[in-house]
A = this chain, B = another copy of it.
Amino acid sequence: MEEVDHLAHERRSSEFDADAMKVVWAGSPRAFDIADRMSRLVAGDPEFRKDNRTMLGRKELFRNTLRKAWHAWKLINELHLTEEEASMLRVFVDEPAYVDLHWGMFVPAIKGQGTDEQQKKWLTLAYKMQIIGCYAQTELGHGSNVQGLETTATFDPKTDEFIIHSPTLTSSKWWPGGLGKISTHAVVFARLITDGKDFGVHGFIVQLRSLDDHSPLPGITVGDIGTKFGNAAYNTMDNGVLQFDHFRIPRDQMLMRLSQVTREGKYIKSDVPWQLVYGTMVYVRQAIVADASKALSRAVCIAVRYSAVRRQFGSQDGDGLETQVIDYKTQQSRLFPLLSSAYAFRFVGEWLKWLYTDVTQRLQAGDFSTLPEVHACTAGLKSLTTSVTADGIEECRKLCGGHGYLCSSGLPELFAVYVPACTYEGDNVVLLLQVARFLMKTVSQLGSGKPTGTAAYIGEAEYLMQCKCNVQKAEDWLNPSIILEVFEARAVRLAVNCAKIISKASSPEEGFAELSADLVEAAVAHCELIILSKFIEKVQQDIEGKGVKEQLQILCNIYALSLLHKHLGDFLATSCINPKQGTLANEQLRALYKQVRPNAVALVDAFNYTDHYLGSVLGRFDGNVYPKLYEEAWKEPLNDLVIPDGFHEYVQPLLKQQLRVSRL
């Protein structure tokens, strides 16, 4: 078979060292090597094929996922993969499965909240997958508000047991992944009641199913909650419903690291600081931000490649060919900001990894001083990156025209499987309100001490409230210190304006509630500033490889100026810039799009995604889109028969006029 590369001319025209950029994207030569090996391992193994997923019914689909999880487990063991390699392999298998919850939530919950003894007992079983666990927190009537959970765990001193019970329909556990059909155990969150007193929500290890025959234990009602958005997407996962009817567990299955109930039923706080749970939270959120850059970069990779392949309307080159869609400014103005965001999220994710290490060390040293700032920062970054990514994937789908609507484009599935990230681990709007609360507090305490970390700039409020942007010509907008100051000024001014309005309200709480839509905008400004500043920091480091740094500078400027354009109202309303400067920024942005254009395909090649991982005919590395789309069509099950099922009963009678047509 002849090898084609319809994108070769694009790759030749790029102006930087593509291999060096791959290492920058991966984070290090070592990270690149692991990702590269694991992605190829998965791509080359027919057991992991994905292209048929959207054609399977729910039962087949679920069985297929169980098979892949088993195959991955075998490979991990046979090849003696390290923990890091194993986790990368699971990433590239790219299919939500019960194992995600086992490794990602059940094990960490026991690690974080179990005593040493509990960890020893349960983690030993969990590591070997002799038990399979999930994380049962949300309920049918309760999501964001954990303190509103209704499930009870009542201590019975007579038997030294907790009685786990679902007192209402709305208290049914609802959504936990892996719960519906597979998990043998769960960490269940319930209101701890002892001696008639409610001590709030705590975690308990609960066995759900028999380890002999897998049937639910007496007192347990459990099942799958039904079909979810998308053809395959999260339907490979058994998100579940769970009800307890006075189900008893031994007292020592309460997770007792932070607090205990004694044999007598006395509730005691341990001397382990409760703030330790924040470590886990930062870890989970940095992982979500890393996922966002992965998902957005996949969508952008597909859209950039296909925009270079696809041609529509009049030729620019006089070669008789239609114009490549990527050459249209309307396409560029939607696509390149997303390309720059993918890079921006990648680098802020890298920084969050560092932040996690920093926080962990501080917590172990008993230093909780940075927690409020870290909490606000990670909450905000989770919210912002997942929202932008979800919208960005759909935008990329639209940028692919009609064919983006086919499952073979990969984009519908990418979207459907991604969007829950906007809701899980904290609804994105609720999280932004937490950021806003932190900002209001920081502003109100400006008299007493300097804010630190990502909030340090608020310490300069006095200057930032009145500073003047002195951009005179378009190129001035390439100066990172000018850009940064403008973004700082916008964020501070929005926050301070909100604080002023709230201070006039009858109560701070009422003022906050009334102004919450504006507060969300102030929080977004704060988060965008963080991402931008980390991008600028990255670009100011030494970066190896011909032209690599230059490309990243271009992307960083696109990130900044496209945000400025998007939120022009913020910048003008707070007088951070004047209308003329806004126009100059837009001019500079157009110039930057021109610069990035010849490098666009190489910049998405740098993600080093295999065709298997992308799962998109439109995003194929070789750009050989149309023959492959055509080939894919014939795999559709509806094409098995020339005359479709139902034709003879429901269509032929029309054509044969067996019906007396009484009107028309």
Interface contact B420-A329, CB-CB below 8 Å = no
Which residue of chain B lies nearest to A662 when distances are taken between CB atoms in the complex? B77
Interface contact B639-A230, CB-CB below 8 Å = no
A313, A590, A663 — which one has the most chain B CB atoms within 10 A of its CB?
A: A663
Interface of chain A residues 626 through 660 with chain B (CB within 8 A): 626-627, 629-630, 632-639, 642-647, 649-655, 657, 659-660
Interface contact B583-A405, CB-CB below 8 Å = no
Contact pattern, A 234-245, Cβ under 8 Å of B = 1, otherwise 0: 100010010000
Interface of chain A residues 207 through 239 with chain B (CB within 8 A): 211, 213-216, 223-231, 234, 238
Known: A330-B429, A330-B517. A132 touches B654 (CB 8 A): yes
Is A289 in the interface zone, CB < 8 Å from B?
A: no
A120 to chain B, nearest CB (A): 14
Which residue of chain B lies nearest to A77 when distances are taken between CB atoms in the complex? B662
Interface contact B575-A63, CB-CB below 8 Å = no
Is A35 in the interface zone, CB < 8 Å from B?
A: no
Interface contact A633-B569, CB-CB below 8 Å = no
Known: A322-B145, A655-B129. A63 touches B181 (CB 8 A): no
Which residues of the other chain, B, contact A365 by a CB distance below 8 angstroms?
none
Interface contact A663-B55, CB-CB below 8 Å = no
Is A34 in the interface zone, CB < 8 Å from B?
A: no
Q: How many residues of chain A have a CB within 8 Å of chain B?
A: 141
Interface contact B330-A516, CB-CB below 8 Å = yes
Which residues of the other chain, B, contact A659 by a CB distance below 8 angstroms?
73-74, 77
Is A514 in the interface zone, CB < 8 Å from B?
A: yes
Query: A76 CA to B78 CA in the complex, in Å?
Result: 64
Contact pattern, A 546-567, Cβ under 8 Å of B = 1, otherwise 0: 0000000000000000000101
Contact of A62 among B170, B428, B646, B662 (CB under 8 A): B646
Interface of chain A residues 410 through 440 with chain B (CB within 8 A): 412, 416, 419-420, 422-424, 427-429, 433
Query: A68 CA to B178 CA in the complex, in Å?
Result: 36
Which residues of the other chain, B, contact A70 by a CB distance below 8 angstroms?
649-651, 653-654
Contact of A642 among B148, B215, B328 (CB under 8 A): B215
Interface contact B59-A651, CB-CB below 8 Å = no
Which residue of chain B lies nearest to A514 when distances are taken between CB atoms in the complex? B329
Which residue of chain B lies nearest to A224 when distances are taken between CB atoms in the complex? B638
Known: A140-B630, A412-B228, A638-B238. A423 touches B402 (CB 8 A): yes
Interface contact A516-B329, CB-CB below 8 Å = yes
A310 to chain B, nearest CB (A): 8
Query: A215 CA to B330 CA in the complex, in Å?
Result: 44
Interface contact A645-B62, CB-CB below 8 Å = yes
Which residues of the other chain, B, contact A488 by a CB distance below 8 angstroms?
none
Interface contact B401-A144, CB-CB below 8 Å = yes
Interface contact A645-B127, CB-CB below 8 Å = no
A295 to chain B, nearest CB (A): 16
Which residue of chain B lies nearest to A314 when distances are taken between CB atoms in the complex? B145
Interface contact B313-A144, CB-CB below 8 Å = yes
Which residues of the other chain, B, contact A69 by a CB distance below 8 angstroms?
650
Is A9 in the interface zone, CB < 8 Å from B?
A: no
Q: What 9 A-B pairs have minimum CB-CB distances, sorted nearest first?
A: A568-B569, A63-B646, A229-B412, A333-B517, A70-B650, A572-B572, A66-B650, A66-B646, A569-B569
